[in-house]
């Protein structure tokens, strides 16, 4: 089951999951456009139908698909870091949401040994993968980073408490 948390010291969405397959196999599934098309999206919601990927730093990638409304969409970007099978970092530019332009997606694939992993076949230790996705850069300022780190810690920290309480100490108008 995937767990998701907002990391309070960055404008980042963090989601994790465990996959019972080695990191190499997971890395293939996230970089091979033929395989991406098979798991990305859901029937009745949206589906990726095509794409390409130049899996190297500076290489371009693109996924094209169809939304639930039948309208075509594209998500594309550039690979920033490629270190198979443990790390993949790329930009994310969806045609359907320009406010996400140049956000950054970071895939961290960590091997995790599991006993009795395979239900069929010999019962020996297999390797699974802890997959962590960090999607960041929503403020659109990853490159500029003007006092980015420290300032965000404070803002997002009190922002959540603030949102939960719903109002300031000051009276409503």
Partner 1 sequence: MRHRLVTYSPEAVFGALADPTRRAVLDLLRRGSQPAGQIAEAFPVSRPAISKHLRVLRKAHLVSERRNGRHRFYHLNPEPLKTVDSWLEQYRGFWQTNLQSLKKFVEDEYSKEISGGRKPEKN
Asked if residue 138 lies in contact with residue 94, where contact means CB atoms within 8 angstroms, the answer is no
Q: Using the rule CB under 8 A, which residue among 42, 69, 116, 143 binds partner 1? A: 42
39 is an interface residue for partner 1 by CB under 8 A: yes
- Segment 59 to 98, residues that bind partner 1, using CB under 8 A: none
Structural Rg of the chain based on CA atoms = 19
Residue 2 near partner 1 by CB under 8 A:
yes
Which segment (32-40, 58-66, 67-75, 80-88) binds partner 1 by CB under 8 A? 32-40
CA atoms 163, 169, 172, 173: torsion sign: negative
Q: Strands 46-53 and 41-42: what pairing?
A: antiparallel
Among 8, 10, 15, 76, binds partner 1 (CB under 8 A): 15
Dihedrals φ, ψ of 15, to 5°?
Answer: -135, 140
Question: For residues 97 and 94, what is the distance between their CA atoms, to the nearest angstrom?
Answer: 6
Phi, psi of 123 (to 5 degrees): -85, 85
Q: How many residues bind partner 1 (CB under 8 A)?
A: 57
Is 162 one of the binding residues for partner 1 (CB under 8 A)?
yes
> Could you identify the residue written with the tokens 């443990």?
86
Least separation in angstroms between residue 78's CB and partner 1 is 19
Residues that bind partner 1 (CB under 8 A): 2, 4, 6, 11, 13, 15-22, 25-26, 28-30, 32-35, 38-42, 99, 118-121, 131, 133, 135, 138-141, 144, 146-148, 151, 154-155, 158-160, 162-163, 166-170, 173
């Amino acid at each position: 089951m995937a767990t998701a948390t907002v990391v309070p010291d960055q404008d980042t969405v963090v989601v994790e999951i465990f996959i019972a397959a080695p990191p190499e196999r997971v890395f293939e599934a996230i970089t091979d456009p033929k395989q991406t098309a098979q798991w990305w999206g859901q029937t009745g919601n949206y589906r990726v139908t095509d794409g390409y990927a130049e899996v190297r730093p500076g290489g371009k990638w693109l996924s094209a698909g169809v939304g639930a409304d039948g309208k075509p969409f594209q998500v594309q970007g550039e690979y920033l870091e490629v270190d198979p099978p443990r790390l993949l970092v790329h930009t994310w530019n969806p045609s359907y949401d320009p406010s996400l332009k140049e956000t950054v997606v970071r895939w961290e694939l960590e091997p995790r040994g599991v006993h009795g992993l395979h239900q069929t076949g010999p019962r020996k230790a297999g390797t699974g993968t802890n997959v962590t996705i960090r999607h960041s850069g929503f403020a659109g300022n990853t490159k500029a980073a003007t006092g980015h780190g420290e300032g965000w810690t404070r803002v997002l920290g009190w922002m959540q408490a603030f949102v939960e309480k719903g109002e300031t100490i000051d009276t409503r108008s």
